[in-house]
């Protein structure tokens, strides 16, 4: 499965990911929902700089998903401190995440730039941190050979002919 991940611009998350210093993300998790784990090893993450961004420019591969024992705040807080070298959280991010009841830690590798893929702004604006992102067409501009290559975002077609420039 592919996931569209919205990043915090103020924290410089995209830059940290591309430099290789940030190799882990946090997602809020509700174990009562049907999907026990929204991400699995081998899944792909497509990063948007923030919720206002309209172009996916970076891709990575999930290698591990951890579900820390979240015995309210104390254990999660310790886990976040221990994994800080991979998470690269700001103080505000750390405070916000350590107050959550249940999270998943998603480790990834091979983060690299890709040709920009435009997504329709109304589909991305105001979304939570992650969305399903189904790959239905070629990824890089050099691979575009179809008349109308598309990617789908939560099952809706997105025209790839209107690409932006790479980072």
**84-94 pLDDT per residue, tens:** 999 999 999 99
pLDDT score recorded for residue 72: 56
Which contacts (CB < 8 Å, 24+ apart) does range 20-25 have? 20/111, 21/88, 22/86, 22/87, 22/88, 23/86, 23/107, 23/108, 23/109, 23/111, 24/83, 24/86, 24/87, 24/105, 24/106, 24/107, 24/108, 25/87, 25/105, 25/106, 25/108
52 vs 42 pLDDT, higher one: 42
Q: What is the pLDDT of residues 13-44, one digit of tens each?
A: 999 999 999 999 998 887 776 555 678 999 99
Is residue 129 classed exposed, middle or buried when 0-12, 13-18 and 19+ CB atoms within 10 A define those classes?
middle
* Residue 73 confidence (pLDDT): 57
For residue 37, the model assigns a pLDDT of 62
The whole-chain average pLDDT of the chain stands at 74
Model pLDDT, residue 57:
85
Q: What is the pLDDT of residue 157?
A: 39
Q: Which domains does the chain have, with CATH numbers?
A: 2-159 (2.30.130.30)
Full-model pTM: 0.74
How is residue 83 annotated by DSSP? T
Q: Quick one: pLDDT at residue 34? A: 54
């Amino acid at each position: 499965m592919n996931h569209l991940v919205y990043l915090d611009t103020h924290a410089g998350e995209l830059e940290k990911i591309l430099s290789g210093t940030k190799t882990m993300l946090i997602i809020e998790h509700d174990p009562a929902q049907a999907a026990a784990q929204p991400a699995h090893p081998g899944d792909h993450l497509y990063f948007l700089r923030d919720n206002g961004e309209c172009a996916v420019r970076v891709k990575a591969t999930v290698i591990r998903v951890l579900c820390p024992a979240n015995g309210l705040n104390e254990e999660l807080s310790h886990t976040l401190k221990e994994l800080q070298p991979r998470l690269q959280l700001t103080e505000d991010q750390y405070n916000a995440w350590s107050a959550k009841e249940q999270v998943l830690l998603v480790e990834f590798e091979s983060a690299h730039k890709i040709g920009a893929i435009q997504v329709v702004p109304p589909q991305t604006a105001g979304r939570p941190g992650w969305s399903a992102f189904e790959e239905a067409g070629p990824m890089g501009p050099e691979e575009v050979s179809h008349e109308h290559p598309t990617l789908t975002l939560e099952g809706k077609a997105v025209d790839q002919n209107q690409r932006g420039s790479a980072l």
